[in-house]
Amino acid sequence: MILPKTNRLTPDQLATVTAIVAEFGCTIQPIVGAVRTIYAIVGDERDELMINRLEGLDYVERIDRIQSPFKLMDKRSDLSSHRITIGGVTLGEQLFVIAGACTIDPKNPNLFYETAQAVKEAGAHALRGGVWKPRTNPYSFQGDTKSLDILMEASRRTGLPVDTEVMEEAHIKLALDAGVTTLQVGARNALNYSLLRAIGRAIDKRPAAVLLKRSIHMGPLSEFISAAEYIAAFGNPNVILCPRGTTPTLDGYRNHPDESITPLLKEKTWAPVVVDPSHSVGKAVYVPSAALAAVAYGADGLCIEAHVEPNKGIGDDPKQALTPEVLKKTITQAKQLWALMRGSSPK
């Protein structure tokens, strides 16, 4: 990783370093942070001569050679001071809450508008709404691009930034062009490396954040952080890790709850952790405790499914969405716990 003396390299300087690394079979990937841009050397960065030539340039501060499978997302990376801000809230400075419907029903937009209003009143910072849905059964409702307009209208009405899942490259452009601020990568696609690469590259269009769910089948934490590394290595460092339960399932819960991996992730990576208790336990009645457990384990945020009338919802909502009253109580308690653990007052 090349750390320039200034906030970014000039085009001429970038051309020079690109030419040097190319001689050694490597390429340069700029990683655009809020203030600084740093430059990942993609390829085998161990060649001493290449490093010496780069270090010899008077505009290079230093070359970081982190021996880690995820050199950008590693806690020791220079990127560790990078902060992610969504809708004016910087993750890590207060508990960040995303809430909303699993699936937007394009035939009933008002249900989503009312849900969005309730989510705002409950104290959430961002609105989630599924436009395109990964469904186990091919005959189940697969989502509808029309719902993107409903999502953005709800965003306009509430002023909340929005999160939605993208499952293929075409969705990335549609979502970013519409104004989506957080692209969600679902548990089924968390190991879809071509999608992760495309999401990383899409930062050219808009510096969106990415909520990367933990895959149902992910075992070692390095597999999860390496998936985040793909997104960062292709240009977007705004990656948030989202544990959401794995298999094998635990009797009674939809998945095996995994909020307890939060402190382990935090030992290895600087990435913020936003836990999804809804898909983890899979039943509304268990969600509030799972949400508080996540905060107790040190989560930076929560992603919770909620609906004004869960029984009228589609997708997961009838089973796992919280009602507005329960959502509000859960968010209030979660914010209090977050502040209590850090000796500050709830925001």
Sole binder of ligand PEP in the list 25, 69, 134, 263 (CB under 6 A)? 134
The one of ligand PEP, Mn ion, none whose footprint includes residue 213, by CB under 5 to 8 A per kind, is ligand PEP
Residue 74 or residue 317: which is nearer to Mn ion going by CB? 317
CA–chain centroid gap for 118, Å, is: 23
The one of ligand PEP, Mn ion, none whose footprint includes residue 244, by CB under 5 to 8 A per kind, is ligand PEP
Binding site for Mn ion (CB under 5 A): 102, 316
Strand partners, 306: 322
Of 175-204, binders to ligand PEP (CB under 6 A) are 186-188
* Bridging pattern class, strands 85-86 and 89-90: antiparallel
CA–chain centroid gap for 19, Å, is: 33
Cβ neighbours around 23 below 10 Å, total: 11
Closest approach of Cβ 194 to ligand PEP, in Å? 17
Closest approach of Cβ 216 to ligand PEP, in Å? 7
Please report whether residue 213 would count as binding ligand PEP according to CB under 6 A: yes
Residue 25 or residue 134: which is nearer to ligand PEP going by CB? 134
Rg, the chain, Cα only: 21
Closest approach of Cβ 268 to Mn ion, in Å? 27
Please report whether residue 279 would count as binding ligand PEP according to CB under 6 A: yes
Distance CA 294, CA 301 (A): 8
**SS3 call for 61:** strand
Closest approach of Cβ 187 to ligand PEP, in Å? 4
Closest approach of Cβ 122 to Mn ion, in Å? 18
Please report whether residue 102 would count as binding ligand PEP according to CB under 6 A: yes
Please report whether residue 26 would count as binding ligand PEP according to CB under 6 A: no
Closest approach of Cβ 87 to Mn ion, in Å? 21
**Per-residue 3-state assignment (H helix, E strand, C coil) for 222-286:** HHHHHHHHHHHHCCCCCEEEECCCECCCCCCCCCECCHHHHHHHHHHECCCEEECHHHHHCCHHH
Question: Could you give phi then psi for residue 240, rounded to 5 degrees?
Answer: -110, 135
Please report whether residue 135 would count as binding ligand PEP according to CB under 6 A: no
The one of ligand PEP, Mn ion, none whose footprint includes residue 33, by CB under 5 to 8 A per kind, is none
In the bound state, the residue with its beta carbon closest to Mn ion is 102
Distance CA 165, CA 175 (A): 9
Sole binder of ligand PEP in the list 130, 200, 257, 282 (CB under 6 A)? 130
Residue 39 or residue 230: which is nearer to ligand PEP going by CB? 230
Sole binder of ligand PEP in the list 120, 171, 244, 307 (CB under 6 A)? 244
Give the relative orientation of helices 109-121 and 324-342 as an angle to the nearest 10 degrees.
30
Read off the amino acid at residue 226: S
Dihedral sign computed on CA atoms, order 182, 187, 188, 191: positive
Residue 17 or residue 99: which is nearer to ligand PEP going by CB? 99
Whose structure tokens read 């029984």?
311
Distance CA 145, CA 163 (A): 15
Residue 211 or residue 308: which is nearer to ligand PEP going by CB? 211
Residue 102 or residue 176: which is nearer to Mn ion going by CB? 102
Closest approach of Cβ 323 to ligand PEP, in Å? 18
Burial of 310: CB neighbours in 10 Å, binned 0-12, 13-18, 19+: buried
Residue 203 or residue 210: which is nearer to Mn ion going by CB? 210
Please report whether residue 254 would count as binding ligand PEP according to CB under 6 A: no
Contact 121, 160 (CB under 8 A): no
Please report whether residue 307 would count as binding ligand PEP according to CB under 6 A: no
Residues forming the site for ligand PEP (CB under 6 A): 102, 130, 134, 165, 186-188, 213, 244, 279, 316
